[in-house]
A and B are shown apart, each in its own frame.
Chain A
Amino acid sequence: KQEVTQIPAALSVPEGENLVLNCSFTDSAIYNLQWFRQDPGKGLTSLLLIQSSQREQTSGRLNASLDKSSGRSTLYIAASQPGDSATYLCAVAGANSKLTFGKGITLSVRP
């Protein structure tokens, strides 16, 4: 059974810092990995999707990498801003596009 782990559960950084959020998964037989952002009381917003054959994806200040063989992904956020404060979840897709989610990392960026 696939398990997805995100550690730490919470992170607080000063504004302007570059930071890395980690995600690990136990079964490397995945179709893709997706990073989401969730604001309190809201739904999930897709940030980046990396196909299993890809190594990384970039969107603006965000860069996500995938090392399928070691079961790891990282989300790099450059020059963090207070508006980046949210919970970040990673999820891996197996058969039938079923996603297995991590519990998320709650990020707080201090002005």
Chain B
Amino acid sequence: DGGITQSPKYLFRKEGQNVTLSCEQNLNHDAMYWYRQDPGQGLRLIYYSQIVNDFQKGDIAEGYSVSREKKESFPLTVTSAQKNPTAFYLCASTTAGGLYNEQFFGPGTRLTVL
């Protein structure tokens, strides 16, 4: 089955810790994205990557970091600099370029700061 997997489903972080959220896709998509979803605020873009070894900041990149060493993987690290990290994190992917760029989403990771 082709799709996007995210792990873990639930993640708990202590104050001052860095944590890494995993996102893997086997759709052979070029572009991958990380979004954050908070109640009543919709989805906001954190980082995106159009190609391996390249990525760009989205609207709320402060306190987050990413890497794109492989086409199928786009992990997100939530650093201790992120002051309010409790949220639902969603990863997405799409074919880069062209007009038909439907985005497909993973099941999400819910991060809670203890």
B105 CB within 8 Å of chain A: yes
CB of B90 within 8 A of CB of A44, answer yes
Distance of A31 Cα from B105 Cα, bound (Å)? 19
Chain A residues near B96: list those with CB within 8 A: 97
Among residues of A, the one whose C-beta sits closest to the C-beta of B104 is A46
Check: A32 CB closer than 8 A to any chain B CB.
Answer: yes
Chain A residue total in the interface (Cβ 8 A):
25
Contact (Cβ within 8 A) A101 B43: yes
Q: Which chain A residues (68-105) contact chain B, with CB distance < 8 Å?
A: 89, 91, 93, 96-99, 101-104
Q: A96-B48, A99-B45, A104-B42 are in contact. Are A45 and B99 (CB under 8 A)?
A: no
| Shortest 8 CB-CB contacts between residues of A and residues of B | A103-B42, A44-B105, A97-B101, A43-B105, A101-B43, A43-B107, A101-B42, A49-B102
Chain A contacts to B: CB under 8 angstroms: 31-32, 34, 36, 41-46, 49, 51-53, 89, 91, 93, 96-99, 101-104
